[in-house]
Structure 1
Amino acid sequence: MTRAEETSGEALAQADALARADALARAGALGRADEIGRLARGTLLPSFSGARVPGWLQDELEKGLGGVTLFALNGNVPSTDALRELTAELGKAADPIITIDEEGGDVTRLGGHLTASPYPGNAALGAVDDPELTRRVYRSLGAELAEVGVNLNFAPSVDVNSAADNPVIGTRSFGSDAALVARHAAASVIGTQESGVAACAKHFPGHGATVEDSHLGVPLVDADLDLLDRRELVPFRAAIEAGAQAVMTGHLNLPLITQGVPATLSHAAITGLLREHLGYQGVIVTDALDMQGASGAIGIPEASVRSLLAGADLLCLGPREHHESLLAVLAAIEEAVRSGRLPLERLAEAAERTRRLKEWLNGHNAGVVDRSVGLEAARRAVRVTGDLRPLGTDPLVVELESMGNIAVGPTPWGLSPWAPDAVRAEGAADEAGPLLERATGRDLVIVLRDAHRHAAQRALTTALLQARPDAVVVEMGLPFWHPDGAVHLATYGATEANGQAAAERLGLTPIA
């Protein structure tokens, strides 16, 4: 750490100390219970249903609620116009932090999961490996968020995807090389924040080496501090140096660091690693606390208290955690303060960091949307192996079914918007015969998505290629499985931009 960084850190520490002292003074002057409630509310990001602000939420915002997290599956994003109206309504009650999980790529919310993203995801950007292009993509994505009133984006994912069978990161990562991920972590943070939207690097201290989904359990990261410094923490250092306004914790078990406690609830991870080891002074946000990895054994109210004790500043409660959950969490936090378990100054410290984030947001202007950069990036990411020739006028496109994980959701994908005849297949062995018959005398295109993770996709593809070695294989996930001898096209993602880029290389045209 440089002397300038040390001086900056000392100044921030002094500001935090003053804020804590001020909060303690106000607690005595204004009534301790009222101040505890206001400070506790300031740490919370609940969710709600629909595209209008419910009365309870407006009341809570007026009482000091930190903000909200928007979820497409809650009906918060029926359209961009509706979202713009919703955020304007939220802003009338207070000055809330309005967050969403919009990574571009396969994890997209702006279209309410009804349409795929016009921007390729991190895997495609990493394949191109042009940090300036990544910066432009995230700058445009940030401008789209600013236009609809979102001011904190839960992106980028800066996980180093070192486990090929990772069930939840995959194409959300820039790649498996820590230095490459770090280059693009910095570029994506800078691009987002150039549009006046705060970036949130995730999932600290790194979800890329796991083979379990933290929505469903507590994934293991078997790494000591030396390995973390060489791999997982490299992109987080880059994001911090680029000025990331927020960092999100992951519900990860690092037994050599946290002794079995999920990182989101671990003082060793949040205060020890992130605050002290990396020197981060910005806002620390939790991943959704309704996930099994955080609250499965203890419940959301207790997880909230423990994450605050660990050093988190803003708590994302989850998509189903509305007013009743908010009240339960508030009661737990207030009781922890009254009992002496949770110091009031810890809440005051979180409130000061949140205040500085809001100050930053109010001092930045929105950028300019440029969707053309999405298609440019998708085109540059396409990789072809073998002799790809133009298709005939009547190809059969077979898309092998592959559901997205919980983070991705049911976003549409594939080449059907550009294919006159496209069919979805489940991957069953008995599907090969009918598909080959339907493809008689026609070109055959087989579209996969993360085939390395799906034995049924690989088996059906192999059966089809045995009869039709001239078929073209298109992989719209990570291209870790490559059938021998086949012409292979990799897109590194399944967004609208990725699909169009693949269709262009195949000679397909949009369906009228």
Structure 2
Amino acid sequence: MSSLMIDVQGTSLTAEDNELIAHPKVGGLILFSRNFTSPTQLMALNKSIKAINPELLIAVDHEGGRVQRFRQGFSNIPAMGKIYPQAAKASSSLQQTLFDAGNIATNMGYLMAVEVQSVGIDISFAPVLDIDDISDVIGDRGFHQEPEIIESLACAFIKGMRQAGMKATGKHFPGHGSVKEDSHVAMAVDKRSKNDIFAKDLLVFERMIKSNQLSALMPAHVIYPNVDDLPVGFSAFWLQTILRQQLGFNGVIFSDDLSMQGATPAGGYAQRCEAAYQAGCDMLLVCNDRVGAIAAIDNANLPRRAESERRVKSMLNKSAYDFSELDKNPNWQKSRQFLF
């Protein structure tokens, strides 16, 4: 079963990279800034990856703002939390601000997606649907403080992504913005009531699932003890009972990075992968730890699930854009006019 998403070490493939990418358990690869020096180099890297496995899903976290893996040659996408204030500067009403902010968001979604896909990447894990509240790690990665405005701008951003041919991945279900701790480096626990979580943070996800905006979701490495004792990505109650059954979500569930501190309660890497897979994740991310990735490949028991494979395959990039020819694309030129 091709359920693991791993990473590679540098700007070109090593012999070990080649061997791991070809392993039947590996179905995806995530890129980081260390894998990039120029668009031309990145295109060559991705072609060499796809030559090993054409159906390998290549992903990146390229949201804009401080989470943008590729800089030189790429547009400098603003943080999503900057869009609404930018629109408000020249607006005389809430309605006009929302309209202008939505226009900016659509163009930023298109710009991000068309550039990322033009170098051979299938998806960016975007948009962030978390509320810009007290979180140490979310902040202006989120669109706004109010769920209704987040929904409006996220839908506009996804409209732009779809115009470029990219499927949207909402994160971090059911919402990381109201949790102060950074789950990359700490155990994040949200002690609010189930009603508070569902009426605020989860509301954005619920509405966007119902309006069929999201092709994939990524759960938070957060424990909500008044809902379940397990972090969301390891919780069958969150992923199966709530997300699949109650909310009716039928898309891909990507685990968040299983090397993060918030994933450690599940045990070693093989145990983390098995627990996330059994809970309902379709693809399991093991990043920035080559020893951990090899342990997962060698030891995790991940029986084949045809439905998971079908969902993941649906995320592959079918765009025909080439980075060297973007300047001939009038939509790319138009969208760049909205940069600020």
Report the TM-score range of the alignment, normalised by the length of the smaller protein.
0.7 to 0.9
Aligned to 2:243: 274
- The separation in 2 between residues aligned to 1:116 and 1:171, in whole angstroms, is 20
Q: Which runs of 5+ in 2 are unaligned?
A: 88-97
- In the TM superposition, 1:386-401 aligns within 5 A as none
Aligned to 1:228: 197
Task: Return the match for 1:289 from 255, 258, 265.
Answer: 258
| Residue 349 (1) aligns with residue 311 (2) | no
| Residue 43 (1) aligns with residue 3 (2) | yes
Deviation at 1:349, TM superposition (A): 3.3
What code does the residue aligned with 2:289 have?
A: E
CA, structure 1 residues 115+299, in 2 after alignment: closer, same or farther (shift >3 Å)?
Answer: farther
Does the residue aligned with 1:162 lie in a helix, a strand or coil? coil
Aligned to 1:493: none
| Residue 66 (1) aligns with residue 36 (2) | no
Deviation at 1:115, TM superposition (A): 9.0
- In the TM superposition, 1:132-281 aligns within 5 A as 132-163=103-134, 166-240=135-209, 241-259=211-229, 261-281=230-250
| Residue 81 (1) aligns with residue 40 (2) | yes
Q: Deviations over 1:337-395 (max 9, x none)?
A: 6xxxxxx36x333223223334xx34x554956366456353xxxxxxxxxxxxxxxxx
Does the residue aligned with 1:98 lie in a helix, a strand or coil? strand
Check whether the contact 1:189–1:199 (CA below 8 A) recurs between aligned residues: yes
Q: Which runs of 5+ in 1 are unaligned?
A: 1-38, 338-343, 379-512
Aligned to 2:59: 99
Aligned to 2:94: none
Deviating above 4 A after TM superposition, structure 1's stretches of 4 or more consecutive aligned residues are 114-117, 364-369
| Residue 108 (1) aligns with residue 68 (2) | yes
Deviation at 1:242, TM superposition (A): 4.1
Check whether the contact 2:107–2:338 (CA below 8 A) recurs between aligned residues: no
Does the residue aligned with 2:239 lie in a helix, a strand or coil? helix
Q: Deviations over 1:304-332 (max 9, x none)?
A: 111001100111111x223x433311333
Q: Deviations over 1:436-471 (max 9, x none)?
A: xxxxxxxxxxxxxxxxxxxxxxxxxxxxxxxxxxxx
- The separation in 1 between residues aligned to 2:212 and 2:160, in whole angstroms, is 10
Aligned to 2:79: 121
Aligned to 1:376: 338
Deviation at 1:48, TM superposition (A): 1.4
- Percent pairwise identity: 25
Check whether the contact 2:143–2:150 (CA below 8 A) recurs between aligned residues: yes
Aligned to 2:284: 315
Deviation at 1:178, TM superposition (A): 0.5
- The separation in 1 between residues aligned to 2:200 and 2:226, in whole angstroms, is 15
CA, structure 1 residues 56+348, in 2 after alignment: closer, same or farther (shift >3 Å)?
Answer: farther
Deviation at 1:46, TM superposition (A): 0.7
- In the TM superposition, 1:326-475 aligns within 5 A as 326-334=293-301, 344=303, 347-358=305-316, 361-362=317-318, 364-366=319-321, 368=329, 370=332, 373=335, 376=338, 378=340
Does the residue aligned with 1:370 lie in a helix, a strand or coil? helix
Q: Deviations over 1:121-147 (max 9, x none)?
A: 111123333223211111111000011
Deviation at 1:250, TM superposition (A): 1.0
Deviation at 1:256, TM superposition (A): 1.3
Does the residue aligned with 1:217 lie in a helix, a strand or coil? coil
TM-score of the pair, normalised by structure 1:
0.58
Root-mean-square deviation (CA, aligned residues, Å) is 2.3
What is the count of residue pairs matched by the alignment? Answer: 317
What code does the residue aligned with 1:57 have?
A: D
Larger radius of gyration: 1
